[in-house]
Structure 1
Amino acid sequence: MGATLFVQPLDLVKNRMQLSSVGEKTKAYKSSLDVIIKIVRNEGITTLYNGLSAGLLRQATYTTTRLGVYSTLFERFVGKQGRQPTFINKCAIGITAGAVGAFIGTPAELALIRMTGDGSLPAAERRGYTNVFNALIRITREEGILTLWRGCLPTIGRAMVVNAAQLATYSQAKQTLLNSGYLKDGIGCHFVASMISGLATTAASMPVDIIKTRLQNMKVIDGKPEFNGALDIFMKVLRNEGFFSLWKGFTPYYARLGPHTVLTFILLEQMNKAYFKYRGIDSVPQL
């Protein structure tokens, strides 16, 4: 959760870019740096940490649940015999863990999207949530409790793509690096493989992420929602903003996901080795 303090501004920048210029081909921001400069100039430097409480709650719910489910399923699969899980097994475990974590974390994710995007709205339309709990209470009271899970399916879809892509690309990159003979199975190899994995995962998951972000931030005016679901958002982005707009916010997203992927896999590798050493199993399954 401590990492959230460092990546929160990146989340805000990414969300502002994804929510900008809806339905327009012209870009509101030239780059991630342009977003930061305009936010600091017009809203103040502390605005970069809008939604911090929601970001912390998301980590406490989504990340904790995901890693807990992954570790539990992985341990049960390996069992006392220490059998080696196949690549498909690891992907299935990762996808399941991601889906469960995403469902649990959707309310915090919804609050985060709205709190980080609030400053981009006209003053009269801003929601003005003071913290994540204020957001959750007001959303429940004003829009109904089910609204807390608005965008749940794309959130789960993104989590499944992220987990599958992370595992697939990390495993493949690590094996390629080891086969090359330039790196041994250690932290250096894990670091390089993780950065490659983070880049591929960012590219694969961003189209789902922008759909999720816009769906969770949309307003219902006079009983009519701004969008008619995920497919409607996808088609409008393609038609009105162009194909590459699906990757709006790529730089801050990768800047956030890259280090997170590195820390996740280095930690999992070390925990994996320590666990099987403790169990007295010589053959350690490769992540």
Structure 2
Amino acid sequence: MATSDFVLGGVAAMGAGVFTNPVEVIKTRIQLQGELAARGSHAQPYKSVFQAFVTVAKNDGILGLQKGLAPALCFQFVINSFRLSIYTHAVEKGWVHNNKGEISFAKGMFWGALGGVVGSYCASPFFLIKTQLQAQAAKQIAVGYQHQHASMSDAIRKIYRKNGVFGLWRGSLANVSRATVASAVQIAVFGQAKSLLKENGVVTHPTILSFCSGLAAGSFVSLAITPLDVVTTRLYNQGVDAQGRGIYYRGWLDCVLTILRSEGVYGLYKGFWPIYLRSAPYSTLVLLFFDELIALREKYDLHY
């Protein structure tokens, strides 16, 4: 696995993360809105994606739309450094190709999922902190459990002092499941779409090809991960007792069943539209940036 691929994957993801973090803030708020309450029986400060942007900017300030940016960028760097470099290494070794030399959808999903498992587990503490910081809001628009963290470093100190190292990895199973599905679908669809568009002559320009393939990947990702994303957000944001146990949910399965009992199937699909609005451009940007950075590296290697 080339070290340069590891770094380039992380840098590409951070570039995309800066642009998509405001949508992630909105997504987190909508997923926590009406937690464990029947539909229509709770206050609804966030009524739509656009209205939510206005509400956050009005009550938390413009910078409120970038809450949790530092841990979000750290999370993106770690998870994508692993998953993109693992996938690229597999491509270079021919591990994702079939007997005809074409990219296999199934093999692409396997290597994408493997990278997602490794990356998401290593990056789990950053996702935990990101979620808790993004949920913090002015009293009049607050939803979900409100953690009082001043910054990423403050959150790390508080969690470590209260629950030790394991507290930083609380809920990691949910995030691994979410990231595995997202990574497998994103990378497999990206590779398949790229091959189909190129081989059929639909798109030939490298940058436009990467853009279209990333857009297709993001669209499929948003359909696949919404319930898993809701569960991850709920588990990460819930408060914990003195023993480090969640006050709302005992684990992944309990979270799913509790949401279904309290909020119905609708509860598992909260935040679908912001997930879609984030996933499509995010996948497009991160995979486009990664392809372009790889091209620059190869160009540089040829010159030197």
**Cα displacement (A) at 1:174:** 4.1
Q: CA deviation at 1:258?
A: 1.4
Displacement of 1:127 in angstroms is 2.7
For residues 180 and 273 of structure 1, the distance between their equivalents in structure 2, rounded to whole angstroms, comes to 22
Tell me which moved more, 263-272 or 145-154: 263-272
The Cα shift of 1:85 comes to 5.3
C-alpha RMSD of the superposition: 3.2
Native 8 Å contact 2:18 2:69 kept in 1: yes
In structure 2, the CA distance between the partners of 1:260 and 1:40, relative to structure 1 (3 Å rule), is closer
- The 5-angstrom pairing of residues 233-272 of structure 1 reads 233-269=255-291
Select 2:160's aligned residue among 140, 146, 149.
Answer: 140
Matched residue of 1:21: which SS?
coil
Number of residue pairs aligned between Structure 1 and Structure 2: 277
Residue number in structure 1 paired with 2:54? 37
Partner of 1:93: 111
Q: Is the Cα–Cα contact under 8 Å of residues 249 and 258 in structure 2 kept in the other structure?
A: no
Report SS of the residue matched to 2:57: helix
Deviation of 1:195 after TM superposition, in Å, equals 1.4
Say yes or no: does 1:102 pair with 2:124.
no
CA positional deviation for 1:15: 0.5
- Which residue of 2 is the match for residue 227 of structure 1? 249
Alignment of 1:218 onto 2:238? yes
**Aligned counterpart, 2:17:** 4
1:264 alignment partner AA: V
The equivalent position to 1:199 in structure 2, one of 212, 219, 228, is 219
CA drift at 1:152:
0.9
> Residues 247 and 135 (structure 1 numbering): CA distance in 2 closer, same or farther, change over 3 Å?
same
Match of 1:53 among 45, 70, 77: 70
Give the alignment's TM-score, normalised by structure 2: 0.78
Residue 75 in structure 1 maps to residue 92 in structure 2: yes
* Counterpart residue type for residue 128 of structure 1: Q
The 8 Å contact of residues 78 and 84 in structure 1, kept in 2 or not, is answered as: no
Of 64-73 and 16-25, deviating more is: 64-73
Of 83-92 and 158-167, more deviation after overlay is shown by 83-92
Q: Percent identity?
A: 29
Equivalent AA in structure 2 for residue 59 of structure 1: Q
Which is worse superposed, 172-181 or 129-138? 172-181
Q: Which moved more, 1:47-56 or 1:152-161?
A: 47-56
Partners of 1:259 and 1:104 lie apart in 2 by 24
Q: CA 1:132/1:273 → structure 2, altered by over 3 Å: closer, same or farther?
A: closer
Unaligned runs of 5+ in 2: 1-13
CA distance in structure 2 between the partners assigned to 1:238 and 1:151 by the alignment? 19
